[in-house]
A and B are shown apart, each in its own frame.
Chain A
Amino acid sequence: MKRIVWLLALLAVGGMAFAQPKVFKSPNPNETPVYGGDFRDWSTADPKTFNPFVAKETSSTDVMDLFLPTLTGYNPYTLEPEGNLAKSWEIKNNGLTIVFHLREGAEWSDGQPITADDVIFSAKVHADPDVGSNSIKSFELDGSPIVWTKIDDYTVQADFPKPFAPALIQGWYIVPKHVFEKAYEEGKITEMWGVGTDPAEIVSGGPFMLDQYVQGERVVLKKNPNFWGVDEKGNQLPYLDRYIFTIVGDMNAALAKFLAGEIDLYAASDADQVAQIIERIDAGKLDASIFPNADVTTGTNFIFFNWNNEDPWKAKLFQNKKFRQAMAHLMDKDAMIELALGGLGKPQWSPISIPVKQFFTDDVAKFEYNPEKAAQLLAEIGFRTKNADGVLVDASGRPLEFRLATNQGNNVREKIAQLFTEDAKAIGVNVKYAPINFNELVRQILNTRDFDAILIGLTGGIEPAFSRNVWELDGPLHMWNYGPDFQSFEILIDKLMKQGATTLDQAKRREIYVRFQQVVAENLPLTYTVAPAYNPARLNSVGGLFDKDQITSIVGQYPYVETVFIKK
Chain B
Amino acid sequence: MTAYIVRRLLHLIPTFLGATFLAFLVIQLAPGDFLTRLELDPSYNTEQIDNLRRIYGLDQPFMVQYAKWLSGLMKGYLGVSLSYQTDVWTVLKPRILNSMVLVGLAVIFVYVVAVPIGIYSALRQYSWGDRILTSLAFFGLAVPNFFFALLMLYFALWLKDVFGHEIFPIGGMRSLYIDGVDFFSAPKWRQWLDVLWHAILPVIVVGTADTAGLTRVMRTQMLETKMQDYVRTARAKGLSERVVVYKHILRNAIIPIVATIGFLLPGLIGGAGLVEVVMGWPGLTPMLLEALFSIDVYIIMGITAISVILLMVGNLVSDLLLAWVDPRIRYS
Interface residues of chain A, those whose CB is within 8 Å of chain B, are: 38, 40, 45-46, 48-49, 51, 54, 56-57, 129-130, 132, 136-137, 190-191, 194-196, 212, 214-218, 220, 244, 246-249, 253, 256-257, 259-260, 262, 285, 437-440, 442-443, 445-446, 456, 458-459, 461, 466-470, 476-477
Q: How far is the CA of A439 from the CA of B287 in the complex (A)?
A: 20
Whether the pair A217, B42 counts as a contact (CB closer than 8 A) is: no
Whether the pair A194, B85 counts as a contact (CB closer than 8 A) is: yes
Interface flag for B32 (CB, 8 Å)? yes
Q: Which of B36, B86, B170 contacts A443 (CB 8 A)?
A: B36
Whether the pair B86, A439 counts as a contact (CB closer than 8 A) is: no
Q: How far is the CA of A160 from the CA of B229 in the complex (A)?
A: 95
Whether the pair A48, B85 counts as a contact (CB closer than 8 A) is: yes
Give the distance to chain A from B57, nearest Cβ to Cβ, in Å. 12
Cβ contacts A to B, 14 pairs, < 8 Å? A49-B84, A49-B85, A137-B43, A191-B85, A194-B85, A217-B173, A218-B176, A246-B176, A248-B171, A437-B31, A438-B36, A440-B32, A458-B40, A466-B42
Q: How far is the CA of A219 from the CA of B235 in the complex (A)?
A: 64
Q: How far is the CA of A253 from the CA of B280 in the complex (A)?
A: 8
Whether the pair B32, A132 counts as a contact (CB closer than 8 A) is: no
Q: How far is the CA of A135 from the CA of B31 in the complex (A)?
A: 27
Q: How far is the CA of A442 from the CA of B30 in the complex (A)?
A: 13
Whether the pair B43, A217 counts as a contact (CB closer than 8 A) is: no
- Given the interface pairs A48-B85, A249-B277, A469-B45, the reply to whether A217 lies near B38 with Cβ below 8 Å is no
Give the distance to chain B from A123, nearest Cβ to Cβ, in Å. 17
Give the number of residues in B that approach A within 8 Å (Cβ atoms): 50
Q: A137-B48, A196-B87 are in contact. List 4 more A-B contacts (CB 8 A).
A: A212-B184, A216-B95, A220-B182, A248-B171
Closest 10 CB pairs of A and B: A216-B282, A439-B32, A194-B86, A196-B90, A440-B31, A476-B46, A54-B85, A215-B94, A439-B31, A132-B55
Interface flag for B326 (CB, 8 Å)? no
- Given the interface pairs A439-B31, A439-B36, the reply to whether A137 lies near B45 with Cβ below 8 Å is yes
Interface flag for B98 (CB, 8 Å)? yes
Whether the pair B157, A256 counts as a contact (CB closer than 8 A) is: yes
B277 — which chain A residues lie within 8 A by C-beta?
249
Which single residue of chain B is at the shortest CB-CB distance from A479?
A: B40
- Given the interface pairs A194-B84, A214-B174, the reply to whether A132 lies near B52 with Cβ below 8 Å is yes
Which single residue of chain B is at the shortest CB-CB distance from A44?
A: B290
Chain A interface helix/strand/loop/mixed: mixed
Q: How far is the CA of A477 from the CA of B44 in the complex (A)?
A: 10
Give the distance to chain B from A276, nearest Cβ to Cβ, in Å. 11
Whether the pair B84, A195 counts as a contact (CB closer than 8 A) is: yes
Whether the pair A247, B282 counts as a contact (CB closer than 8 A) is: yes
The residue among A195, A212, A259 with the most chain B CB atoms within 10 A of its own CB is A195
B38 — which chain A residues lie within 8 A by C-beta?
56
A194 — which chain B residues lie within 8 A by C-beta?
84-87, 90
Q: How far is the CA of A56 from the CA of B283 in the complex (A)?
A: 23
B85 — which chain A residues lie within 8 A by C-beta?
48-49, 51, 54, 190-191, 194
Whether the pair B37, A442 counts as a contact (CB closer than 8 A) is: yes
Which single residue of chain B is at the shortest CB-CB distance from A132?
A: B55
A45 — which chain B residues lie within 8 A by C-beta?
290
Q: Which of B30, B161, B287 contacts A216 (CB 8 A)?
A: B287
Q: How far is the CA of A466 from the CA of B170 in the complex (A)?
A: 42
- Given the interface pairs A216-B286, A256-B170, the reply to whether A196 lies near B86 with Cβ below 8 Å is yes
Task: Flag B279-296 by CB within 8 Å of A: 1 or 0 each.
Answer: 010110011001000010
Interface flag for B91 (CB, 8 Å)? yes
Q: How far is the CA of A253 from the CA of B156 in the complex (A)?
A: 13
Interface flag for B248 (CB, 8 Å)? no
Interface flag for B172 (CB, 8 Å)? yes
Q: How far is the CA of A248 from the CA of B278 in the complex (A)?
A: 10
Whether the pair B278, A249 counts as a contact (CB closer than 8 A) is: yes
Whether the pair B280, A249 counts as a contact (CB closer than 8 A) is: yes
Whether the pair B172, A217 counts as a contact (CB closer than 8 A) is: yes
Whether the pair B282, A469 counts as a contact (CB closer than 8 A) is: no
Whether the pair A195, B90 counts as a contact (CB closer than 8 A) is: yes
Whether the pair B161, A285 counts as a contact (CB closer than 8 A) is: yes
Whether the pair A438, B37 counts as a contact (CB closer than 8 A) is: yes
Q: How far is the CA of A437 from the CA of B293 in the complex (A)?
A: 11
B83 — which chain A residues lie within 8 A by C-beta?
48, 56-57
Whether the pair A195, B86 counts as a contact (CB closer than 8 A) is: yes
Whether the pair A248, B90 counts as a contact (CB closer than 8 A) is: no
A253 — which chain B residues lie within 8 A by C-beta?
171, 280
Whether the pair A195, B91 counts as a contact (CB closer than 8 A) is: yes
Q: How far is the CA of A220 from the CA of B183 in the complex (A)?
A: 11
Q: How far is the CA of A437 from the CA of B37 in the complex (A)?
A: 11
Interface flag for B39 (CB, 8 Å)? yes
- Given the interface pairs A56-B83, A216-B98, the reply to whether A244 lies near B278 with Cβ below 8 Å is no
Interface flag for B249 (CB, 8 Å)? no
Interface flag for B51 (CB, 8 Å)? yes
B95 — which chain A residues lie within 8 A by C-beta?
215-216
A54 — which chain B residues lie within 8 A by C-beta?
85
Q: How far is the CA of A132 from the CA of B58 in the complex (A)?
A: 14
Whether the pair B31, A443 counts as a contact (CB closer than 8 A) is: yes
Which residues 1-49 of B sit at the A interface, judged by CB distance below 8 A? 30-32, 36-46, 48
Whether the pair A40, B176 counts as a contact (CB closer than 8 A) is: yes
Whether the pair A469, B42 counts as a contact (CB closer than 8 A) is: yes
A256 — which chain B residues lie within 8 A by C-beta?
153, 157, 170-171
Q: Which of B43, B173, B182 contacts A466 (CB 8 A)?
A: B43
Whether the pair A130, B157 counts as a contact (CB closer than 8 A) is: no
Q: How far is the CA of A216 from the CA of B39 in the complex (A)?
A: 27
Q: How far is the CA of A422 from the CA of B43 in the complex (A)?
A: 34
Q: Which of A49, A136, A439 contacts B48 (CB 8 A)?
A: A136
